[in-house]
Amino acid sequence: MGQHNKKTMTIDATDQAAGGGLLNRRFFLTSTLLTSAALASAKSAFGQEMVGQGQEDWTLYPGSDALEYGELSRFEVGRVKKLVGEVSGGRTATSAGRTPHHNLMGTITPSGLHFEVTHHGIPDIDPDRHKVVIHGMVKNPLKFDINALENYPTVTREYFMECSGNSRICYEDKPTKQHLDMTHGLVSGSQWTGVLLSTLLDECGISKDAKWIIAEGADSGSLSRSIPIDKALKDTMIAIYQNGERLRPGQGYPMRVLNPGFEGNTSVKWVRSLYVTDKPVMSRFETSKYTDKLYDGNALQFSLELDVKSVITRPSNAMSLAKHGLYEVTGLAWSGRGKIARVEVSADGGKTWAEAAIEGPVNSIMLTRFRIPWMWNGTPAILQSRAIDEFGRVQPTRKELISARGNKAFYHFHAIHSWGVDAKGGIEHVYA
């Protein structure tokens, strides 16, 4: 920087190539400060300061050229997903990337920050060699590649996606010290474009006795889940675009099932077979994996619909409150069944609640942003949010959830989350 300043204000004799301000051609190589160098020379001519005195470098010099694919600012490079493998099995069990909501605003998660959970890695699929077959209890078994799907009338809808393992760390006996990505990073929101599965099933001529559809992926585990027929005919889509561009490989390229509001694992990525039948297949992921172990030794199975839930994304433990005064408390709320009707915020650990402002339009089965101003007077506080959906379902307290199901469920933790703020403005996850 010192070198730049020197170049800005003075031009050495060695820089001058000829009179009238002409500089050595090598000046371009030793300094990027072309314009201010010229301005600096103007000073000597008229005895005035260059008008750009005090401006930042990026204002005084032309920037870089357009990129084929835009990138984050180099100053934002740390704002990425948290990569975590499940400790129980390492890479062989699960690979997950978690959305850093403490760094984000709005309700659409950038595609590159959308959470990913894979159990058998991300396949590298050539779309020209990928097809999905629909077969079983249908009159006409059909196959579709991505070009065929693109010919259909598509629907574009905003939906959140959530892994039912999101927030599972909150079942543990002590609050985690990690950031929000570890507690609430397995939920994201996107605009999805695809063909309604009902459109394709209609062309196949589905039997009246059909009750389930078994979806299978083309990954190296051929991941498979059973989808109830009422869901499949209601709003399930075969998604081919996310946020306006073709799916990312980690999101199921070239095509995936998308079951709005259902636990993420049912939205089978890289889908290549849809078998129409009258019974569930009882795949590994719907028996031994995504089932919720209860206090009494039983387990909930096909707990498909996601719950009503919310979390404060700012402030969070990724920051601290530097001084007393006015802050905005903001966060996200969602329900697997429909729209968020109301979000309430407490600054006293749930003793009193205030209704937060909801940023519309509120979409069904989509992240909804809430915000409320908060004057922090420097005393310890516990910030909480509580979501209520259009059906009157209310987000429970952690105590209520655990007393209903126990603390071994692993999945579907949707209780109220608490940020503890201490007198110094430090913030951490607490149970309250």
Is 310 a binder of another protein (CB under 8 A)?
A: no
Our CB check for another protein shows the closer of 34 and 299 to be: 299
Is 291 a binder of another protein (CB under 8 A)?
A: yes
Residues 383-422 within binding reach of another protein (CB under 8 A):
392-396, 400-401, 404-405, 408
E strand map for 62-181: 82-85, 95-98, 116-118, 132-136, 142-144, 155-162
Give residues with Cβ within 8 angstroms of 1, minimum separation 6: none
How many residues of this chain interact with another protein, rule: CB under 8 A? Answer: 72
Is 427 a binder of another protein (CB under 8 A)?
A: no
Smallest separation (angstroms) from another protein to the CB of 247: 19
Is 301 a binder of another protein (CB under 8 A)?
A: yes
Is 210 a binder of another protein (CB under 8 A)?
A: no
- 356-379 in b/e burial notation, b at 16+ Cβ within 10 A? bebeeebbbbbbbbbbbebebeee
Distance CA 279, CA 228 (A): 9
Is 283 a binder of another protein (CB under 8 A)?
A: yes
Give residues with Cβ within 8 angstroms of 191, minimum separation 6: 108, 156, 157, 158, 242, 243, 244
Our CB check for another protein shows the closer of 105 and 282 to be: 282
Smallest separation (angstroms) from another protein to the CB of 201: 11
Our CB check for another protein shows the closer of 276 and 421 to be: 276
| 201-209, 251-259, 324-332, 367-375 -> range binding another protein (CB under 8 A) | 201-209
Other Cβ atoms closer than 10 A to 407: 16
Is 279 a binder of another protein (CB under 8 A)?
A: yes
Smallest separation (angstroms) from another protein to the CB of 306: 12
Our CB check for another protein shows the closer of 248 and 293 to be: 293
Q: Which of 159, 152, 262 is nearest to 199 (CA)?
A: 152
Of 116, 158, 307, 344, which lies in the binding site for another protein, with binding defined by CB under 8 A?
A: 307
Smallest separation (angstroms) from another protein to the CB of 293: 7
SS (H, E, C) 363-430: CCCCCEEEEEEEEECCCCEEEEEEEEECCCCECCCHHHHHHHHCCCCCCCCCCCCEEEECCCCCEEEE
Smallest separation (angstroms) from another protein to the CB of 351: 18
Smallest separation (angstroms) from another protein to the CB of 366: 21
Report the run of H or E that residue 6 belongs to, with start and end.
helix 2-9
The binding track of 135-154 with respect to another protein, each residue x by CB under 8 A or -, is x---xxxxxx---xx-xx--
Residues 224-253 within binding reach of another protein (CB under 8 A):
224, 228, 230
Of 13, 71, 296, 361, which lies in the binding site for another protein, with binding defined by CB under 8 A?
A: 296
Residues 30-69 within binding reach of another protein (CB under 8 A):
none
- Give Cα 85 distance to the centre of its chain: 18
Give residues with Cβ within 8 angstroms of 181, minimum separation 6: 81, 82, 98, 99, 100, 101, 102
